Chains A and B, each alone.
Chain A
Amino acid sequence: MDSKENTPNLSENGKPVITITQISRPFFTHSEISYMHSQTIDESKKLQYNQTKYQIFQLLYQVIKQLKFPLRVLATAMNYYQRFYLFHKFDGAFDDMDKDPYVVAITCLLLASKNEDCIKKLKDLQSVVNKLRDIDENKPVTNTLDSSGDSIAYHELQRKYVLATEFKLLQLIKFDFSNGANSLSIKTSVDCLLVQFCKQLDINYRMSILSWLICFDIMSTPLCLVIPPHCIAVAIIIISLNLKPQEIKLDHHEIGEEDDDERLSEILDSIDCERDFKCPEVLVNEGILYILDYYIHQYSHSVLNNYLPAIDKQLGKEQIFKFMELKEKFIDLKNMNETSCKESLNRTDEYLSKWEFTTASKGIARFMLGNKRRRFNKELDIQG
Chain B
Amino acid sequence: MSTPVVASPPVPLKKRSGPATHNYSKERKVGEGTYAVVYLGHQVTTGREIAIKEIKTGIFKDGLDMSALREVKYLQELRHPNVIELVDVFSTPHNLNLVLELLPCDLEVLIKDKEVVFTMGDIKSWMLMTLRGIHHCHRNFILHRDLKPNNLLIAPDGQLKIADFGLARALGNPNEDLSSNVVTRWYRAPELLFGAKHYTGAIDMWSIGIIFAELMLRVPYLPGKDDVDQLDVTFKALGTPTEQIWPNVSSLPMYNALTVYAQPSRQELRNRFSAATEKALDLMIMLTQLDPSRRCDSTRALLHDFFTELPRPTEPRDLPKKSIKKEEPDAKRRKI
Contacts and interface: CB of A to CB of B under 8 A. Distances in A.
A308 B11 CA distance: 57
Interface size class of B (residues with CB under 8 A): 35 or more
Contacts of A366: 22, 88-91
Contacts of B3: 163-164, 166-167
Does more than half of chain B's interface fall in helix, strand or loop, or is it mixed? loop
B21 A160 contact: no
Does more than half of chain A's interface fall in helix, strand or loop, or is it mixed? mixed
A28 interface: no
B281 interface: no
Given A122-B61, A364-B21, A187 B140 contact: no
A360 B91 contact: yes
A148 B19 CA distance: 33
B11 A364 contact: no
Given A121-B62, A164-B4, A360-B92, A369 B76 contact: yes
B63 A166 contact: yes
B62 A110 contact: yes
Interface string A362-375: 01111111000000
A68 B202 CA distance: 28
Interface size class of A (residues with CB under 8 A): 35 or more
Contacts of B170: 184-185
B6 A111 contact: no
A177 B73 contact: yes
Contact of A10 (B20, B77, B88, B169): B20
Contacts of A166: 3, 63-64
B89 A170 contact: no
Interface stretch (B106-114, B171-179, B236-244, B268-276): B171-179
Contacts of B89: 175, 366-368
Contacts of A176: 76
Contacts of A110: 62-63
Nearest to A116: B173
A178 B76 contact: yes
Given A12-B19, A184-B74, A384-B172, A164 B6 contact: yes
Contacts of B5: 164
A178 B57 contact: no
B69 interface: yes
The 7 closest A-B pairs by CB, nearest first: A366-B90, A177-B73, A361-B93, A185-B141, A364-B22, A11-B20, A166-B63
30 contacts: A9-B22, A10-B20, A12-B19, A19-B22, A70-B173, A110-B62, A110-B63, A114-B64, A114-B66, A114-B69, A121-B62, A122-B62, A163-B62, A164-B5, A166-B3, A167-B64, A175-B91, A183-B77, A183-B140, A184-B74, A184-B140, A185-B140, A186-B172, A360-B91, A360-B92, A361-B11, A364-B91, A366-B89, A368-B88, A368-B89
Given A365-B91, A366-B88, 5 more contacts: A9-B22, A114-B69, A122-B62, A167-B63, A357-B8
